[in-house]
Each structure stands twice: as structure tokens, then as C-alpha cells.
Chain A
């Protein structure tokens, strides 16, 4: 196999002792799923595909005018981007001497509860056999049928002993707001297994209700952070962190610079409207700082790099920011180039790896 290396870059950034990538996307195909499905799911999925709601596909509705949304060099031979471990090793893990990479297999569909549970199990088994068993640097996210909380809890318990699954996926669009009490058993099960939960933007369909649907991928892409802001608001306002105090939540690929001013707005509004949130015992920003974590990609690039540093500091959460590349997507951030030199020293060490070690219990 030959791999284009034209984009290989000079590693001139400050050297860090540890690189952990918290957002890497392996991509499965139907051939990966079918052998791992029992009947009647196997025949149904073979015939109808993953239940995804064809009118809801963000990729179709908002075509990504950047090589379909992936790095040009990530298509190797006939294999789709992110589908071959050897390519991911060559282009990412080895290339940047990554100590660990956290896999996030995004699932497209959402069917009836039992089918969704079967699909999640198939994806989780595929991850275990084709990825985790083959490279000790890999960790993964556990997919669960989120809108069937009892089945989701079973999936968490099924894999709880495999320490390589380091977090539980929360979809970018659920049937209720994420703070709804019907989802709390999932949060309790994750916390009981010492697993953070993680929301990654997109994944399944995104609804656009407040302002209506945008026209362009540019808007869709820039709007994804509001989904994550809504999740953060919903979880905080629900009071779930009073009920499950050890719950940790990773906000992946959602940018960071909005979060400081959002905390300011939440706190200021709470002073007037706090009676509306009777379960809260602290300021909203305190829950934010105690329970949420960020990934860096796509890192903001203000003209003045000091503005980025200050925006990160506004969150009060520089101990909760983790490097991510988003391999193999088009807006990949290189471990050597993503952070400006205004982020240096111990802060750089933390963001590039140490913070992720703490969240995911990794030992390098």
C-alpha cells in the first residue's frame, strides 16, 4: 500500500512529552456490521440498510464541499477514510507519535429500540476486534441506544469491564432534551462504571428549530456548537449533577471560545430566573467547570493568538481542554500546528495530553 506523504510537515512546534488525540473517527461498512448481527436484524439491515431516515442525512442536505468532508489523502486505494487501521497508524498514530487516540465511531441511524441496540453491539464488537485488539494505543467510545435508556444501561454494563472503552456516546440529537430524567439511568450507569459521557457534534440528524433550517454546510458546520451548548445548558439546568455528582461530560468538536461567555450569561440570568431551576444548589458556571471537558479541534484562530488564550481562560477550565485532530475529516488539526505559540509551557502539556490522562484514567 502506498500512502501520499506530500502533506507531511516539519515538526517545528514546541515539543511536548505526551500526545493524546481525543477525536479520531473509524468508519465501518456494512460488511463490518452484517456478520455481527443476529437475525432478523441481519437480513433487515442487509436489505434496508441502517435505519437513518433518508431525508435527515446531514451529508445529503448539506454537501461538504471539501472532498466530501474528509482529508484528500485519507482515501487509500478502495478503502474509505478511517476504515483501515494501517492507514490510521501511518497517517496519525505513528506520524505524530501519539501515545493514545480515542476512537469515536459515529453511527448514522436510529431504528426501533431492539434494532438500535443490535447495531450498537455490532459496532462495539467491531471496534473491539478490529481496532482495540490490534493497537494498544487505541481507546474507544461506546455506542449505546440512547433513546432506549434501559437497553443503553445494559450495553454499558456489558462492556464495563473492558477498560479500553473509556466513554459513553451521547447523540447530538435525542428524542428529548438531554437533561430529561428518562436519560438519568444512563448517566448513573456511566458514572457507576467510572465512565464519562461524551457528545460529539452531528452524528445523527440535527434539527434546526429556533431559526429554521440553514442553506449551506458552512452554516451547518458553524452551528453545531449550539447543539453542544444546548446539551450543556440542559444537563446543568436539569440538576442531574446534583443527582450524579461524579458524572463527567466531554464536549467534542464543539469549539471552546463560546463557553466562557455562555457561563457569564447563564450566571447572570440565573440571578434573575434562578427560581425556575430549583434543583440547582450552585451557580450554573460551577457545574460547567466541575463537569465538562472540551476538545480543541477545530481550534479557533483569532488574528491575535492572545485572544485565544484569553478565551480559553474565560472558561476557567484550562485543566479540562484536550487536544483532538478529528482525523480523517477535512478540517483535521495537526498535533504540531493546532495550538498557537501563545499556548506554551505547562498549559500546552496539559492540553496536548495530561488533561486527557486525567479524564480517561490513562497512564502513559
Chain B
């Protein structure tokens, strides 16, 4: 079990509503009947509770994970680790079904719940806006509705999609995040009723989990660059959340090479693709997906290829447990200034966090 850093900006901490009841106040009565009639819960099966990765031992002891209340979050994470800031992630809407109107309603309710339960109670907490994925115009409306509340730090999109996120059909979302100057976070899972493979499902949870990072995430990075999203909106920034980063250098090298030959197909891509990737993307550190068997020299070589000190932003991915991995070697390879950047500096710049504000743990609640 990798250790959680003290005093960091933690860019991926999972929270969940305790039950559907906690959301009913934020839902039109029409949906109350829909929810009761369909026996719809707020739970999901993305992280099966009994499975090791889903919770660190100390989180498992609470019998309720991820944290479902501010009190639980404070006790498990805020008090013991004193983070400067925490970006909260709720993936409950990633399995909200195919009804596009319900998806609009439930994402809005989750956002209101996050604001009331967490953001109103502790100035260290930052939220993720979840948005409907089947209705880009409604997603844009939700971003416009909430992004003025700067406690919402990012717009959360599931990494799995029906069409890659750079596609022109999502232009309403691109435009909305740009005009609100709010980053996008692509997070593992999503893709309601979509299969991760050509043939349908995955044969194991192990493969399904790895497909998020190894198979799907590279396609989204390619799409966002190839479709010219960053030419149209130079301010858009994207964080790859719980998607690893080992695959990034290979992707940059191969895309740079192909672009030299195939640029005519996407003439709006004016710079080397790796320049866009380095400038517009960041990745969270957990899971590192670096096995503890990888040598310190290899980790150091890899960190150089990635430009890890600039590219990475610290996350605990609490409460998920990614085991005894290569984190220590990675942080050792960063050097002192690189560690400072990854633990705090890069996220401060990425999210535009005001470093002068009160970030002490006292006086909250």
C-alpha cells in the first residue's frame, strides 16, 4: 500500500452519495417516481466492494467507502494528511443508464449534493462538475450554471465514450469549458452500455480496469489533439485522472512521427502533437502503474521521457488501493524541485488555485 502524502494538493479523491435519498431534494418529483419505480440506486459496480483495489485497509475498516459524508472525509483524509486542497471526484453518474433526460437530472443532483455536503463546509475542498454525456448542449448548460462557483475545479468526463471527446459533436462542451476557463478531467470508466473491446466485454475485471488506461485513454488524447480542440481553444486543459501515464511517451513519439507524414489530414494541427500534449495535458499520480519490480534507473529514465516533473499532479486516489508500487522510486526520480511541483506546484497552476487563501485545517465546519 503506497503512502498518502502530507500537505499535498490531492487531485483525485473519491466520494459518493450515501444513498439515493440524499439526492431526492435535488431532483424533480417526476424522477422520484422514476427512481422508485425502477428501484434505481446510486451505487455502481465500477469498484466491487470486496475487491482489493476498491479500498485501502483503513478505508475498508470504516465499512463505508468511498467517504459519503464530510465527517467521514475529514476523519479519514483531511485530519490525518492535512492536504492543502483536495479535488473531489464522484463517478456515480458514470452508470446512470441510457435515458438522456435522467442523466441530465442525476448529474445536476450530484453536483448540488457535492456543493452542499462538501464545498460549503471546507474551503480546502474543490469539486468536479459531472455532466450528461448524451446531451452535449445540456452538459454545456450545466457547466455554465456551476463554473462561476470557483470551488468547482474541473468538469469530469468518463474516459469511455460513444465517440472520442475531441469530436465536433462535443463542440458545445469544448466551448463551455473554454468560456468558463475550467479544466476537463478524464476519469477511468464510463461509457454506459458501451463495451471496451471490439468483441464486446472484457473477460475479467482485471482487463476491464486496465483497458481504461491502456486502451481507451490514448484514443481520447489523440482525438483531442487531432480534432484541433486546442487550436480552437488554446485555454483548454485536460487532466488524465486514474489513467496512469506510462503510455504517454510512446504515444507522443509515435504521434509526432505520423504527424510529419499525415499532417495534411488535420491541417489545423499546427504544432508537433507532443507540444500540445505537454502543454495541455496533465496526469494524476495514482495509480502509478509502475510495478515495484521496475528498477530505480528505469524509473529515472522513464521520468525523463515523460517530463514527469511537469506532467504529473499528485493524487492519492483515496480510497482506492493500488498496492505496493513504484511510487517511492518515482518520487525519488523527480528530485526536490520536481517533487514540489508534483505535490503542489503543478496543480496550483493547472487549477488556478489561489495559494494565498487560508488553507489551514482550523476554523472549518
CA distance A314 to B218 in the complex (A): 20
Q: Is the CB of A222 within 8 A of B194?
A: no
Chain A interface, DSSP helix/strand/loop, else mixed: helix
A15 within 8 A of B: no
B160 within 8 A of A: yes
A53 within 8 A of B: no
Besides the known contacts A65-B265, A217-B265, A219-B219, 14 further A-B residue pairs in the complex with CB atoms under 8 A apart = A66-B262, A174-B199, A175-B199, A210-B194, A214-B219, A226-B214, A233-B214, A234-B203, A260-B298, A263-B291, A264-B290, A265-B213, A302-B305, A311-B249
Which residues of chain B from 268 to 318 have a CB within 8 Å of any chain A CB?
287-294, 298, 301-302, 304-305
Per-position contact with B for A198-233: 1 when CB-CB < 8 Å, else 0?
000000001111111111111101110111011001
CB nearest neighbor in B for A256: B250
A285 within 8 A of B: yes
Chain A, interface size category, equals: 35 or more
Give the Cβ gap from B195 to chain A, nearest Cβ, in Å.
5
**A contacts, CB < 8 Å to B:** 65-66, 173-177, 179-180, 206-219, 221-223, 225-227, 229-230, 233-234, 237-238, 255, 257-258, 260-277, 283, 285, 298, 300-302, 307-308, 310-311, 313-314, 330-331
Chain A residues within an 8 Å CB radius of B305: 302, 307, 310-311
B197 within 8 A of A: yes
CB nearest neighbor in A for B324: A271
Which residues of chain B from 176 to 230 have a CB within 8 Å of any chain A CB?
191, 194-200, 202-207, 209-211, 213-216, 218-220, 222-223, 226-227
Chain B residues within an 8 Å CB radius of A261: 244, 246-247, 250, 289, 302
Chain B residues within an 8 Å CB radius of A330: 261
Q: Is the CB of B198 within 8 A of A215?
A: no
Q: Is the CB of A300 within 8 A of B291?
A: no
Chain B residues within an 8 Å CB radius of A210: 160, 191, 194-197, 211, 215-216, 219
Q: Is the CB of A267 within 8 A of B293?
A: yes
CA distance A212 to B193 in the complex (A): 12
Q: Is the CB of B226 within 8 A of A179?
A: no
CA distance A87 to B292 in the complex (A): 51
A271-B250 contact, Cβ under 8 Å, with A219-B219, A285-B291: no
A237-B203 contact, Cβ under 8 Å, with A66-B261, A211-B219: yes
Q: Which of A206, A222, A269, A276 contacts B198 (CB 8 A)?
A: A206
